[in-house]
Structure 1
Amino acid sequence: MIVKRSKAFTLVELLTTIAIIGALLSILLPSLSRVREETKRTVCASNEHGIGQAFYIYAQAGPSVFPMIAQVFEGGTGNMQLFHPADRTSQPSTTGIPSPTVDLWAVVRKSYTVPKQFICPSTPDFPDPARDTTVYFDFYASRHLSYAYQYQHDPNRRTIGVASEPTFPVLADSNPYIKGGLSGASPTLQNDRNSMWRGNSVNHTEREGQNILFQDGHVDFERGPDVGLSGRVAGVQSSRGRDNCYSTHNVNNPVDPGTAKPTATTCNLGDKSDACLVP
């Protein structure tokens, strides 16, 4: 009986096969990466929606407004603090320097949501390690918070609650000029807004945009941060445009809706229409 031997691959055939596989992978891998990022964005949006529901539960439980622990604080340098160590284990003063991160933790402390919900899966952030969230008053560190919350403590801004403007931005992916590391003079706000990144959050791939929670509870993925209210300037008939939710504008300034970066210690709003989400 004659046994037929299977023909082995020649070197040329082997190299051709490897080349074909490589070409297929080069086509498929970007698509797979895109699918993964889209999935992460969806989870991120779901997180923000859940936080929005927690805000409404908090408001309906008594104060009628979204979390705001400290009261209105006079403007100027040093009117904000974030992730302050003393605020972690000691109840913050209602008359001291306001902390938006303390404000956010209020819904965790009330058990209306959990630390994991404050993490965007597109970032390297991870949930706050607190086991008993009711004994703390603030997030442990910036790596445990992926989102930015409206600064409500400026005299020029009324508090946000169930009766506020439905299209006002309340929460979004982290502010690129604070947690995103783009603070200071480089790049300037104007240059960043005019660049391919359009002044977007750094949370998502290539700074393509950010998920934004609005007062009425809906979440949109926006390709730019100019999604706030269309404020009008006293004595000027034309609108100054949609407000940039990551920056502040000068009082009664009819030009760029975002003219100044907030810092880790200062956030001075221009007027009641000015949205500035931090950190």
Structure 2
Amino acid sequence: MVAYTSTPSDVEMGLEERTVVLVEKKSSTGWIWKVSVALLLVALCFGGVLLFAWYWNGQPEMTRSGQTEALIEKNTAEKTDPHYTLRRISSKAKAAIHLEGSYDDDESLKDELEWKNGQGQAFAQGGFRLVNNQIVIPQTGLYFVYSQASFRVSCSDGDEEGTGKHLTPLSHRIWRYSDSIGSKASLMSAVRSACQSTAQEDSYGDGQGWYNTIYLGAVFQLNRGDKLWTETNQLSQLETDEGKTFFGVFAL
């Protein structure tokens, strides 16, 4: 905006000699609007950059969070497996063997639990062998020896009134034969009574009976060529479904 003003001159000089001076007055509001618009544009640009950065970085974080939760669920499910700990330890061992138990009244081996390799969770590595239903130790050293026998026992004593007491001893033992000893020796054993009393009816009316488990496990110094085997009573009461009865050794 431009305004024009005239300055007073000497009256005596006359109209012909009067000088007119033009003075420009600039508006003070124009530059303020320009600065405000510029600041607003800068703020919008900066906000857009922040929003884009948040979206870009947030997506991978959400993906990583979902993957972590999935891994946790997977690990939890694995650890509920009864063989998880033994498989994890034996997989890192130099030598290991894990056998599944089997028993059939119709087979020729009616007086002992038969151990199977190569079925279910069973495996052998590092020189271990299964010979004549016995585990043969490959090298001299420290070994962890373990076994589990599971039973399903009927506690009925045949008394219609269900009175009296009936004890069914369950036993499971691991034997060792070493040339240095020259005879067999018991490594571990346990005995349990599955039926405490028949004063009340069998807890399973459908005849399934009482369920009981004997677990053995310890560390031993064994020699090359030593043989290990098991001895179990109440073979007809054994539960040999996958994972219930097993026998194994691994090197430490």
**Fold conserved between structures, TM > 0.5:** no
| TM-score, structure 2 normalization | 0.29
- Of Structure 1 and Structure 2, which has the larger fraction of its residues in strand? 2
**Larger RCO of the pair (alpha carbons < 8 Å, separation 6+):** 2
